C-alpha cells in the first residue's frame, strides 16, 4: 500500500494518507490529467498521433508515462484497430507467433466503414460509433487514459442495463451482471470452478447487444487484468491492466444479425478447427481407474448396456509415479494397454490419454523426457537465468517446457512419437492436456519445492495391489528483444488484480512471474498464454504422428485464438445442480463468442458424489455439449452411465437423438471453420429484437435450429421454458405449436427425456436410429425432416467428407430449400456417402395431400403416410443420396 504520488491540484483536498483502497475510486482516477493529442497525421486508412501528458501526473500505481503513440487503422469496413504504445521502451506485446495479426484491407477508408473513430484532442478521448446512425458504441469521454509501467486504465460508458457477454473464462451468468462485477484475467488451477473468480482461460473479448445492433470489443493483451462493470453512477466498463500495451480491435457486428460479430471476431483470432467425425461420439473417463482391468471392464460394460461408447480415456492413473510419457509396469503394463487400444480400434472405437506439461525433475538420469529436455535446453528458467524453474506437481518436483524456445516443438513432437508410437507404444487417437495454466501445488513463496512435494506426498502412493498381469480381458481374446522490466516489481505490482489463487499473489500455485523464457520474455507477461501454447504444440505433435489427419486435442487453459487448434473442457466442476446449470453459460461463452466450439463440461460432475437423478439429467444435457464426456474424480463414487437403470436409459435415449443429429452438427462445425458462424447459439442470437431472450442461459440452440430446454431443478419433472413468437416442432413427436413470446411450463418430463424442439424454417438431415459407433452411423441412411416456418418455407444444408482428413480429397455440399410445398435438394456430390435418403418427413401439413411427386413422378400411395394429429406427412424414397432431387406435395 502506498499513497498517491504527485497529485493534481484538483486532488489537493484529499488526505495525504490516501491508501491503495482509494485508488480505484472513479472520482480519483477520472480526475487524472490524461493526455493531449499532437502531431496528428492521416495516411490512407491510418491515423497516427502523439499523446502527451496533459497535466501534473497522477502516478497512481507508478509513474505516468509522459508521451505515448496512437495508431488507428481502419482494417476492414467492419473493424477498427486502435493501438496505444510507449515509443520510448520495448514494452511487451502478445507475440504474433501466438496470436497472428489479421491482414488489413488497404482499400478501406473511414468514409466507407460501418463504424468510425472519433476523438477530442485535449484531453484526449476517443469514441467508436456506427456510421449510419451515429450511435456511440464505445467512449472514453470523461475517463482519462492512464498509462504507467505496470498499470493501464481505459474506461468506457455503457447504456443502462447493458447486455454484456464474454470476458471469460468464467462461471457467471452468460449475460454478465452489471453491478459491482469484476472479471479477472489470470490463469489458475480453479478446482470447483467458483462463480465470480478467475479460472483457467482468458478471452478478453466482449459483445454488447442492443436492440439497435450487436458489436464487439477485443483487447489483445495477455497481462493480468481486472475488467470492472458497474452501474452505481452510470454504467461503465473499465479495464485495469498490469502491463503490456493497449491493443484494441473494435468490431461493427451488425444491426440485425448478432452472429456477424462472431464472424468478425473469427477474422482476428482464427476460425475454429475442424475435428474428426468420431469425436462427436460419447467419451468416458475418470481419475481413479486403478489398473488396466478397470479400463477394460468399463469398455465392456458400456457394450453390454447397449450404450454407444465411442472413445475411452485414461487420466494420470496409467503413469509410473505420475510421470508423463510412462506407464506403470505393474498396474498398466504396456502390453496390456496395447491390447486395450487394439481392441478399441478393431471395434471402430478410440482412445485418448492425459499428458501434463510438468516434467519430473530427475537430474540423476534415467528418465528420458527429462534427460532429453535438459540436453535440448528447453526448460522455463528461474529468475537467476542459470537453472530451471522448479515447481511441485503430481510427479513431485518438476520443470516446465518453455514453449517460446525454438527447440521445444521438436522436443515435444519427439516425445509424442516415441511414447505414442503405433508399433511400440500406445497408438492414441487424441490428446488431453491438463494443468497447463501452468499449475503447481507449491504455495508462494515456495522456497523449497522438494519440501513441499514431500509434505504433499507427491507423487501419491498407490493404494491398491496391482492386478494379475495375465488376467483375461473382459471381452475374451525464435528470438526477440528482451522486454525492459527494470524497476518493475513483478511479484507485487502496485495494482493487485483480484487473483483468487491461494494468497492472491501472482506467483501462487503457478510458475513464478519472474521465470524467464528463451526469447527474453517473462511469465509476468506471458503467463496467460502458457496453456494455449502447449495446446498448439500438442496439436502440432499429433499432426506429426498422423500427417494430414485432423486432431482432437482437449485442453484446460486457453487464450484468444485457441479454438483454431484445440477444444476444451470447463475444468474441475462439482457434482451439483449449480454446476449443471452454469455449464450452459460456460459452453455458450466458449462456442458462441470465444470460438472454442469443441467444448463440454464433465458430465455428472467431477468432484464430490453425483446422484442418479442428477446424472440422468446431466447425461441428457451433456448430449448437447459439442464435446460429450463423462468424467469424475478419484475421491468420488463411480458414475459411468450404465451403473444406474435410469441413467442408462437416459443415455440411450439422448444418444439416439445426438447420433441422428450428428451430420447436422458436423455441418455446423464445417461452417464454423469456414467463416466463424457459431455452432451453439443463445436465444438472443436468433431473436435479437426480443428483450426477453437477452438474459436466458438455461436454454440454447444446438446448431442453428435445435432448441434445447433442459430440466434444471432437482427432482422436478417440469421446466419453465421461453418460446419466442415463432413456429416450433417437438423433436420426438414432430407436432407443431406456436410460441407466443412467453414462458411455457413443460410438464411430465420423466428422468429419461429432455425437451428438444425444432425451430420453424429448418430442413434437417437426420440419420436413422440405432447405431453403436460413428462408423456404423456413417453407413446408415438419411431421412430429411422439413419443418416450415410461419410463411411455409424452410432451408438447410449438409456437408460430408471422409470425416478425418484436414484436406479431404472429395466432399459433398448439399442445400435444401422448401417453399410452395416443394422440397428441392441440390449440391455438389463429390464425396460418396454410400447411403440412401430413406424418406422425407414434412411437418405442419394441415391436411392430407392429394398428390405427392418425386422428381416429377407420382409417388405410389403405399409410400405415403399422413398423421393428422401430428400433421406429419411421410414420403418413403429409398433413393441413393448421390444427386439432387425434388419432392412435392399438394
220 neighbors 528 (Cβ within 8 angstroms): no
Sign of the C-alpha dihedral, residues 506, 510, 514, 518? negative
878: which 3 cell numbers? 429409398
pLDDT tens, residue by residue, 213-261: 999 999 999 999 999 999 987 899 999 999 999 999 999 999 999 999 9
**Rounded CA gap, 159 and 156, in Å?**
10
Give mean pLDDT, residues 558-570. 98
204: which 3 cell numbers? 478478453
pLDDT classification of 477: cutoffs 50, 70, 90:
low
Query: What is the reported pLDDT for 232?
Result: 84
Q: Which residue has the cell 447459439?
A: 681
**Rounded CA gap, 296 and 468, in Å?**
14
* Closest by Cα among 601, 768, 760 to 686: 760
**Rounded CA gap, 189 and 207, in Å?**
26
Helix (H) or strand (E) holding 660: helix 645-660
The pTM for the full model equals 0.96
**Rounded CA gap, 422 and 426, in Å?**
6
Query: What is the reported pLDDT for 18?
Result: 27
Query: What is the reported pLDDT for 481?
Result: 55
pLDDT tens, residue by residue, 740-789: 999 999 999 999 999 999 999 999 999 998 899 999 999 999 999 999 99
Annotated catalytic residue 315: no
Strands, DSSP E only, in 103-145? 115-120, 125-130, 136-139
pLDDT classification of 3: cutoffs 50, 70, 90:
very low
Query: What is the reported pLDDT for 4?
Result: 30
pLDDT classification of 567: cutoffs 50, 70, 90:
very high
Sheet strands side by side (includes 756-759):
680-681, 700-702, 706-708, 756-759, 727-730, 736-738
Query: What is the reported pLDDT for 13?
Result: 27
Give mean pLDDT, residues 28-48. 95
* Closest by Cα among 608, 648, 616, 615 to 307: 648
Query: What is the reported pLDDT for 21?
Result: 35
- The conformation of residue 273, written as its DSSP 8-state character, comes to P
597 neighbors 700 (Cβ within 8 angstroms): no
* Closest by Cα among 396, 340, 403, 343 to 373: 403
Annotated catalytic residue 448: no
Query: What is the reported pLDDT for 486?
Result: 87
Query: What is the reported pLDDT for 340?
Result: 98
Query: What is the reported pLDDT for 27?
Result: 73
Give mean pLDDT, residues 632-637. 98
Give mean pLDDT, residues 580-589. 98
Whether pLDDT at 456 is above 50: yes
Which is the catalytic residue, given 437, 640, 663, 801?
Answer: 437
Q: CA–CA distance from 564 to each of 38, 95, 274, 444, 857 (Å)?
A: 40, 16, 8, 34, 47
Query: What is the reported pLDDT for 478?
Result: 46
pLDDT tens, residue by residue, 56-79: 999 999 999 999 999 999 999 999
**Rounded CA gap, 201 and 561, in Å?**
11
Annotated catalytic residue 730: no
Query: What is the reported pLDDT for 24?
Result: 54
Give mean pLDDT, residues 472-488. 77
Q: Which domains, ranges and CATH numbers included, belong to the chain?
A: 9-269 (2.60.40.1760), 701-889 (2.60.40.1180)
Chain centroid, CA 208 distance in Å: 19
Whether pLDDT at 10 is above 50: no
Query: What is the reported pLDDT for 484?
Result: 84
220: which 3 cell numbers? 489483445
CA dihedral 804, 807, 808, 814 (to 10 degrees): 100
603: which 3 cell numbers? 458430465
**Rounded CA gap, 471 and 335, in Å?**
12
Instruction: Give percent above pLDDT 70 in the chain.
Output: 96
**Rounded CA gap, 555 and 566, in Å?**
7
Which is the catalytic residue, given 75, 434, 640, 697?
Answer: 434
* Closest by Cα among 235, 287, 397, 353 to 637: 287
Q: CA–CA distance from 390 to each of 400, 452, 522 (Å)?
A: 8, 11, 15
DSSP 794-805: EEEEEEE--SSB
Whether pLDDT at 11 is above 50: no
**Rounded CA gap, 508 and 439, in Å?**
9
pLDDT tens, residue by residue, 198-210: 999 999 999 999 9
Which is the catalytic residue, given 356, 415, 429, 572?
Answer: 572
Whether pLDDT at 831 is above 80: yes
Q: Which residue has the cell 469424475?
A: 632
pLDDT tens, residue by residue, 118-149: 999 999 999 999 999 999 999 999 999 999 99
Amino acid at each position: 500500500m502506498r499513497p498517491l504520488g504527485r497529485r493534481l491540484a484538483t486532488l489537493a483536498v484529499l488526505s495525504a494518507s490516501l491508501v491503495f483502497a482509494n485508488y480505484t475510486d472513479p472520482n480519483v482516477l477520472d480526475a487524472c490529467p490524461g493526455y493531449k493529442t499532437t502531431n496528428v497525421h492521416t495516411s490512407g486508412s491510418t491515423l497516427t498521433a502523439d499523446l502527451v501528458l496533459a497535466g501534473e501526473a497522477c502516478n497512481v500505481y507508478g509513474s505516468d508515462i509522459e508521451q505515448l503513440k496512437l495508431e488507428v487503422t481502419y482494417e476492414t469496413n467492419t473493424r477498427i484497430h486502435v493501438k496505444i504504445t510507449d515509443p520510448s521502451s520495448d514494452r511487451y506485446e502478445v507475440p504474433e507467433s501466438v496470436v497472428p495479426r489479421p491482414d488489413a484491407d488497404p482499400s478501406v477508408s473511414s468514409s466507407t466503414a460501418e463504424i468510425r473513430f472519433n476523438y477530442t484532442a485535449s484531453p484526449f478521448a476517443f469514441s467508436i460509433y456506427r456510421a449510419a446512425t451515429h450511435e456511440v458504441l464505445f467512449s472514453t469521454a470523461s475517463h482519462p487514459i492512464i498509462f504507467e509501467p505496470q498499470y493501464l486504465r481505459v474506461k468506457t460508458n455503457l447504456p443502462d442495463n447493458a447486455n454484456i457477454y464474454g470476458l471469460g473464462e468464467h462461471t457467471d451468468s452468460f449475460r454478465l451482471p452489471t453491478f459491482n462485477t469484476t472479471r479477472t484475467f489470470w490463469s489458475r488451477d480453479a478446482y470447483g470452478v467458483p462463480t465470480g473468480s478467475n479460472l483457467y482461460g482468458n478471452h478478453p473479448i466482449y459483445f454488447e447487444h442492443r436492440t439497435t445492433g450487436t458489436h464487439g470489443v477485443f483487447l489483445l493483451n495477455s497481462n493480468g487484468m481486472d475488467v470492472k462493470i458497474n452501474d452505481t453512477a452510470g454504467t461503465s466498463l473499465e479495464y485495469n491492466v498490469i502491463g503490456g500495451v493497449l491493443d484494441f480491435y473494435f468490431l461493427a457486428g451488425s444491426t440485425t444479425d448478432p452472429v456477424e460479430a462472431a464472424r468478425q471476431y473469427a477474422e482476428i483470432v482464427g476460425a475454429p478447427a475442424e475435428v474428426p467425425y468420431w469425436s462427436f461420439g460419447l467419451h468416458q473417463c475418470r481419475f481413479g481407474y486403478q489398473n488396466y482391468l478397470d479400463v477394460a471392464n468399463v469398455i465392456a460394460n458400456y457394450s453390454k448396456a447397449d450404450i454407444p461408447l465411442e472413445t475411452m480415456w485414461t487420466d494420470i492413473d496409467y503413469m509410473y509415479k505420475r510421470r508423463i510419457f510412462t506407464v506403470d509396469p505393474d498396474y498398466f503394463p504396456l502390453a496390456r494397454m496395447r491390447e486395450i487400444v487394439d481392441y478399441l480400434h478393431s471395434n471402430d472405437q478410440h482412445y485418448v490419454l492425459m499428458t501434463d506439461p510438468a516434467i519430473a525433475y530427475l537430474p540423476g538420469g534415467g528418465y528420458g523426457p527429462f534427460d532429453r529436455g535438459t540436453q535440448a535446453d528447453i526448460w522455463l528458467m528461474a529468475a537467476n537465468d542459470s537453472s530451471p524453474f522448479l515447481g511441485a506437481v503430481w510427479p513431485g518436483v518438476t520443470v516446465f517446457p518453455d514453449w517460446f524456445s525454438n527447440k521445444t516443438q521438436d522436443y515435444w513432437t519427439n516425445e509424442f512419437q516415441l511414447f505414442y508410437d503405433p508399433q511400440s507404444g500406445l497408438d492414441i487417437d487424441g490428446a488431453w492436456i491438463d494443468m497447463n495454466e501452468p499449475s503447481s501445488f507449491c504455495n508462494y513463496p515456495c522456497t523449497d519445492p522438494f519440501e513441499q512435494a514431500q509434505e504433499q506426498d507427491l507423487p501419491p502412493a498407490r493404494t491398491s495391489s496391482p492386478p494379475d498381469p495375465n488376467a483375461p480381458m473382459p471381452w475374451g481374446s525464435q528470438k526477440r528483444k528482451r522486454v525492459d522490466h527494470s524497476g518493475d516489481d513483478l511479484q507485487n505490482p502496485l495494482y493487485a488484480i483480484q487473483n483468487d489463487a491461494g494468497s492472491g499473489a501472482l506467483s501462487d500455485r503457478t510458475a513464478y512471474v519472474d521465470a524467464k523464457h528463451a526469447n527474453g520474455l517473462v511469465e509476468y507477461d506471458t503467463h496467460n498464454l502458457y496453456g494455449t501454447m502447449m495446446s498448439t504444440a500438442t496439436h502440432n505433435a499429433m499432426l506429426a504422428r498422423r500427417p494430414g489427419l485432423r486432431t482432437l486435442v482437449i485442453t484446460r487453459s486457453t487464450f484468444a485464438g485457441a479454438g483454431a487448434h484445440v477444444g476444451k473442457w470447463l475444468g474441475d466442476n462439482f457434482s451439483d445442480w449449480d454446476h449443471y446449470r452454469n455449464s450452459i453459460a460456460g459452453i455458450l461463452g466458449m462456442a458462441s463468442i470465444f470460438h472454442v466450439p469443441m467444448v463440454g463440461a464433465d458430465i455428472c460432475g467431477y468432484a464430490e458424489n453425483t446422484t442418479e437423478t442428477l446424472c440422468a439429467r446431466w447425461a441428457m444435457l451433456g448430449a448437447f455439449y459439442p464435446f460429450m464426456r463423462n468424467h469424475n474424480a478419484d475421491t468420488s463414487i463411480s458414475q459411468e452411465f450404465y451403473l444406474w437403470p435410469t441413467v442408462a436409459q437416459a443415455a440411450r435415449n439422448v444418444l439416439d437423438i445426438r447420433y441422428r443429429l450428428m451430420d447436422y452438427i458436423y455441418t455446423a462445425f464445417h461452417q464454423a471453420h469456414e467463416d466463424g458462424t457459431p455452432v451453439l447459439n443463445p436465444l438472443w442470437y436468433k431473436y435479437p429484437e426480443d428483450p426477453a431472450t437477452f438474459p436466458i442461459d438455461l436454454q440454447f440452440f444446438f446448431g442453428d435450429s435445435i432448441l434445447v430446454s433442459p430440466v434444471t431443478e432437482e427432482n422436478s419433472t417440469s421446466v419453465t421454458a421461453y418460446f419466442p413468437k415463432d413456429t416450433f416442432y417437438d423433436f420426438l413427436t414432430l407436432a407443431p405449436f406456436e410460441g407466443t413470446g412467453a414462458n411455457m411450463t413443460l410438464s411430465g418430463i420423466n428422468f429419461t427425456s429432455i425437451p428438444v424442439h425444432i425451430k420453424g424454417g429448418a430442413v434437417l438431415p437426420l440419420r436413422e436410429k440405432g447405431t453403436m459407433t460413428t462408423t456404423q452411423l456413417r453407413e446408415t441412411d438419411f431421412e430429411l425432416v422439413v419443418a416450415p416456418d410461419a410463411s411455409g418455407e424452410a432451408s438447410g444444408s449438409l456437408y460430408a467428407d471422409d470425416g478425418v482428413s484436414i484436406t479431404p480429397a472429395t466432399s459433398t455440399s448439399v442445400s435444401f430449400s422448401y417453399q410452395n410445398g416443394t422440397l428441392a435438394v441440390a449440391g455438389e456430390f463429390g464425396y460418396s456417402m454410400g447411403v440412401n435418403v430413406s424418406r422425407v418427413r414434412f411437418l405442419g401439413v394441415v391436411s392430407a395431400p392429394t398428390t405427392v411427386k418425386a422428381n416429377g413422378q407420382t409417388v405410389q400411395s403405399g409410400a405415403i403416410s399422413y398423421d393428422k394429429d401430428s400433421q406429419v406427412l411421410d414420403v418413403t424414397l429409398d433413393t441413393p443420396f448421390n444427386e439432387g432431387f425434388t419432392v412435392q406435395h399438394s
